């Protein structure tokens, strides 16, 4: 049985050591190290013999979801960028230690053909897709305002966060059976945008709308579409994109950032048959910040 604890001090609280990394960031140098559920997540067969495709599965929320899905009985195809291959190998190891197949795929979701190749690979390996998790994301703090956001930067954020999701949903759906589940990673930024993350927040708001619209479009096929909207989460994206990490997450009512392991159960629930009546919903996991 999982020990009952006070969530306020269950994981490290700010202030954190000052740290920065080049984009996209890596798990190893982070202090404190993120918790993906390696020592805590216990599966119960909720996703037995399912096939899941997870973008951005090398680290952070994506790794925690891959680990949890595997311990629930799913095989996992996940994407990573070439510069993240060491983190990807670690995710694959955890999936395989759970007794499931791991298929890491180097894939930049900004390109349509890369997304097509990812879906083709998943189908060639497993014959179908049961769960699609659109989790890959790009952000970069822009403290100097909209004038400092270049067209190149804006395009990169939209192509990573929106275009990739659109293409993958479109391409995966023909290979999904009744009972399939699509889960998109939204954010508290969709509802409470930080000025220095204007472009990123814009995409997260669009993800909410896309999720609710697509859910209505495909429910007659027996496929559910939902999203998770995390608050601040301690992942490599943070030291790689924010100028100051020392007080990261302190603004949340709970007083700290989430660990990736605290997000994964929401994805497991939405992917499972236990969520059969839940579609077009946004699960808010914000550490106490009220959202609509």
Tell whether 165 is covered by a domain. yes
Average pLDDT over residues 149-161: 98
Tell whether 37 is covered by a domain. no
The four Cα atoms 154, 155, 159, 160 give a dihedral, to 10 degrees, of -50
Tell whether 291 is covered by a domain. no
Average pLDDT over residues 151-168: 98
72 has a pLDDT exceeding 80: yes
Tell whether 24 is covered by a domain. no
The pLDDT confidence band at residue 8, using thresholds 50, 70 and 90, is very high
Domain count for the chain, please give it.
1
Tell whether 155 is covered by a domain. yes
The CATH number linked to 158 is: 3.40.50.720
Average pLDDT over residues 34-58: 98
Tell whether 81 is covered by a domain. yes
Among residues 138, 200, 267, 277, the one annotated as catalytic is: 200
Alpha-carbon gap, residue 162 to 140, rounded angstroms = 16
| Residue 169, number of CB atoms within 10 A of its CB | 22
pTM more than 0.75: yes
1 has a pLDDT exceeding 60: no
Q: Is 277 marked active-site?
A: no
pLDDT of res. 23? 87
pLDDT above 70 coverage of the chain, percent? 100
Nearest to residue 78, comparing CAs of 112, 106, 50, 36?
Answer: 106
How many Å from the N-terminal Cα to the C-terminal Cα in the chain?
33
171 has a pLDDT exceeding 80: yes
The pLDDT confidence band at residue 51, using thresholds 50, 70 and 90, is very high
Which position has the token pair 């403290």? 143
Residues 6+ apart with CB under 8 A from 4: none
Tell whether 9 is covered by a domain. no
Tell whether 219 is covered by a domain. yes
User: Residue 77 is part of which domain span?
Assistant: 42-285
């Amino acid at each position: 049985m999982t020990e009952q604890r006070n969530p306020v001090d269950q994981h490290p609280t700010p202030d954190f050591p000052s740290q920065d990394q080049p984009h996209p960031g890596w798990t190893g140098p982070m202090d404190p190290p993120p918790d993906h559920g390696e020592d805590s997540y216990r599966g119960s067969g909720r996703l037995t013999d399912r096939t899941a495709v997870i973008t951005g599965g090398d680290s952070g929320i994506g790794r925690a979801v891959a680990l949890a899905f595997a311990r629930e009985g799913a095989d996992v195809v996940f994407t990573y960028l070439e510069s993240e291959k060491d983190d990807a190998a670690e995710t694959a190891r955890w999936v395989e230690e759970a007794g499931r197949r791991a298929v890491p795929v180097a894939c930049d979701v900004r390109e349509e053909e890369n997304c097509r190749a990812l879906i083709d690979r998943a189908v060639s390996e497993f014959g179908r897709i049961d769960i699609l998790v659109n989790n890959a994301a790009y952000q970069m703090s822009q403290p100097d305002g909209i004038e400092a956001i270049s067209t190149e930067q804006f395009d990169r954020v939209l192509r990573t966060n929106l275009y990739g999701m659109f293409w993958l949903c479109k391409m995966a759906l023909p290979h999904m059976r009744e009972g399939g589940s699509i889960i998109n990673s939204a954010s508290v930024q969709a509802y409470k945008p930080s000025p220095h993350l204007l472009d990123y927040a814009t995409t997260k708001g669009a993800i909410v709308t896309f999720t609710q619209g697509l859910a209505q479009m495909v429910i007659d096929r027996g496929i559910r579409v939902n999203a998770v909207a995390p608050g601040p989460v301690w992942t490599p994206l943070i030291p790689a994109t924010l100028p100051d990490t020392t007080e990261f997450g302190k603004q949340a009512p709970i007083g700290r950032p989430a660990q990736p392991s605290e997000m994964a159960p929401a994805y497991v629930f939405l992917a499972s048959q236990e969520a059969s009546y839940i579609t077009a919903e946004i699960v808010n996991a914000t550490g106490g910040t009220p959202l609509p």
